[in-house]
Structure formats: structure tokens, C-alpha cells
Amino acid sequence: MKATVRAHPNLALVKYWGKRDDALILPHQSSLSMTLSPLSVRTTVAFGAGSADEVELNGYVAKGSERDRVLRVLDAVRAEAKDAKLGPAKMVSRGDFPASAGLASSAAGFAALAVAARAAAGLPADPRAASLLSRLGSGSACRSVQGGFCEWMRGERPDGMDSYAVQRFDEKHWPELRMVVAIVSRDEKEVKSRDGMKNAVETSPYYPAWVKDAEAEVVRAREFLAKKDLQALGEMCERNAWRMHATSLAADPPLCYLMPKTLELIHSLREQRKKGVPVWFTLDAGPNPCILTDAAHELAAEAAAMACGATEVVRCVPGGDAQLLGEHLF
């Protein structure tokens, strides 16, 4: 009744920004992401251990909402495997990338938790069930159960059973694609994605326009990925990130995640493109741009980021599925 899983984080090329159901974490729009290797999180889950649930994240005992989100996933597994009488669980999770990477380790963490908890409970391997389960912890986690390029379909049902991610292309489809993560600020962001998107949904006059184009944007991204058209994908990524941020800039109170160095790097990428270097940015709910490029230009992308004051750069390739490991964390 113990299992360990390693999962990679993912970065949305077409972003999710806003829930239609806060409790079930159901999005207003579909989204599409790239799974990022070598960054990963390992999680061990054991049922029937101790007298109460224990949750440890990166060396600390989890408390408050962090702990509640993990227990929500564990409780859902206990409910599904009710005949197995699993009892209290112990869960230990460790990210092998610096928290300063500016990428939500929660996506990789909840994907690893969902796959590990199901395996520890003796439930069959099932990417769809694991994706549905991980979504209860963190929305974007549902796209980290599988590798390559995954699409989270928004779904229509009020119970959320049709809101999960499927793999559109695996990690071998486009091995030359690169995502260069540039850290320009390590400060904890003031407004978490959860609150930022809620504010946009409730107060931004641009929100309906953002939602209106989202499904078509996913279809376009799929087509550009199929054709391995870097320029078209890059241009779409930038546009999608700008539109997501525009909803928050127009919200009340307005919310701006961009820092001076973020803008400096964005402008510098434009200059690079004029010189023929294929580099485009995307930006999650934070100041650290991620640069979409190919293997031949990843060093140029890194140099551009460093020249704009990035303190750290992580070069990523398309990552694989969440995987069971033989070695446990406890």
C-alpha cells in the first residue's frame, strides 16, 4: 500500500485563467500545455501508516489550505477504494527543482500525488482517472499526468467528470522544441493564481472576450504543434499570454504581474527576432518569462535572458508521463 511517482511540471501554451466552479476547479476554457523535463517532483504515498494523515512537502509539515488540498485528493482515493479500508495516509513530496524556478511545482506535485495515491490504493493505472483526481488539488496539475503536449478539455458537466486532460502529442513528437525558463525575480508573488483569476472573472470587462476565443486558440495550437510550426506557435503563445494578462490589468483592483525586467526581456526577444533568432515568450501569473525556441537557439535565448538581468535560467525539453519509481522517499 505504498507507491512513489515522479511527475514533471507543465507550462501552458494556451492558458487557463478563470474557474466556472471554484470548489471542483472547473475552468471556463480549455488549455494546452507542454510538459517540462528535467524539472520534476517525487511523491511517496503509503496508506495504513500511523494513526492520522501526515503530509510533508519539501521537508515541512504541510498546514492549512496546503494540507487540505492534499487531503482532498487522498479522501477521493479512499472513497473510490472503499472496500480496501485504506486508513490514514502518509505522504512525502520533494521537488528536485528550486522553488525559485518560478514554475508552479504544485502542478507536478498534485499529478505525482494522484498517480501515487491511486497505485498505493491498488487502483488500476488510468491516466484519465488520475487527471480528474489531480485537478481537485490544482487545476493545471491535470495536464501533468501525461508527457508531451496535453490538452485540458473544459467539459460541460456540472460534476466535472468530463473536465480532464488528454495527451495530444507525446514527448517524442517534437524533441527539438525548447522552453527556456528565465528567473528575473524570486520574490513571492503578491497575488496567487487562484485569487488573481477570480478577480479577473468577477471584475474584468475583458474576461468574456478572453473566454470567447479560448477554444479556437486550442485548435490552432494543436494544428501548429502537428505541423511543428515554431513561428506560428510562438506568435500564438505571446498573444495568448498578453490576452490573459490583459484581463487582469483591466480588473478591479488591477493586477500586474510584470516587472521591469520582464518587459525588458520581452522587448529584447522582439529585437532578437528581427535578427532572425526564433524566440517567443509566454508568461504565467508571475514575472518570470519562459522562452519558446528550438535546440539550435536555446543558448541564444539563455544569453538574451541573462543580458536582461535574469539570475537563473533553466533549459527544458518536452518531458514524459508521470512514472512509478522503485525507490521510496520513506
Considering only 41, 62, 74, 104, the residue that binds ligand PMV (CB under 6 A) is: 104
Q: Is 189 in the site for ligand PMV (CB under 6 A)?
A: no
Q: Which stretch binds ligand PMV (CB under 6 A): 45-53, 57-65, 136-144, 248-256?
A: 136-144
Considering only 138, 167, 240, 293, the residue that binds ligand PMV (CB under 6 A) is: 138
Measured between its terminal Cα atoms, the distance across the chain in Å is 13
Residues in contact with ligand PMV, total (CB under 6 A)?
14
Q: Is 210 in the site for ligand PMV (CB under 6 A)?
A: no
Are the beta carbons of 131 and 164 closer than 8 angstroms?
yes
Task: Give CA 61 to chain center in angstroms.
Answer: 23
Q: Is 285 in the site for ligand PMV (CB under 6 A)?
A: yes
Q: How far is the CB of 330 from ligand PMV (least distance, A)?
A: 27
Shorter beta-carbon distance to ligand PMV: residue 220 or 328: 220
Q: Is 139 in the site for ligand PMV (CB under 6 A)?
A: yes
DSSP-assigned beta bridge partners for residue 183: 312
Q: How far apart, in whole angstroms, are the C-alpha atoms of residue 17 and residue 197?
A: 5
Q: How far is the CB of 327 from ligand PMV (least distance, A)?
A: 28
Q: Is 193 in the site for ligand PMV (CB under 6 A)?
A: yes
- Cell numbers at residue 66, please? 496546503
Compute φ and ψ for 257, nearest 5 degrees. -85, -10
Q: Which stretch binds ligand PMV (CB under 6 A): 15-23, 46-54, 158-166, 295-303?
A: 15-23
Q: Is 105 in the site for ligand PMV (CB under 6 A)?
A: no
Report the run of H or E that residue 127 belongs to, with start and end: helix 127-135
Q: Is 238 in the site for ligand PMV (CB under 6 A)?
A: no
Q: How far is the CB of 252 from ligand PMV (least distance, A)?
A: 19
Q: Is 102 in the site for ligand PMV (CB under 6 A)?
A: no
Q: Is 140 in the site for ligand PMV (CB under 6 A)?
A: yes
CA angle 328, 329, 330 (to 5 degrees): 90
- The DSSP bridge pattern shows strands 54-57 and 89-95 to be parallel
Q: How far apart, in whole angstroms, are the C-alpha atoms of residue 212 and residue 217?
A: 10
- Nearest in space to 319 (alpha carbons), one of 41, 36, 11, 32: 36
Considering only residues 46 to 65 of the shown chain, the ones binding ligand PMV according to CB under 6 A are: none
For 63-89, what is the HEC assignment?
CHHHHHHHHHHHHHHHHHCHHHCCCCE
The footprint of ligand PMV (CB under 6 A) covers: 12, 15-17, 31, 104, 106, 138-140, 193-194, 284-285
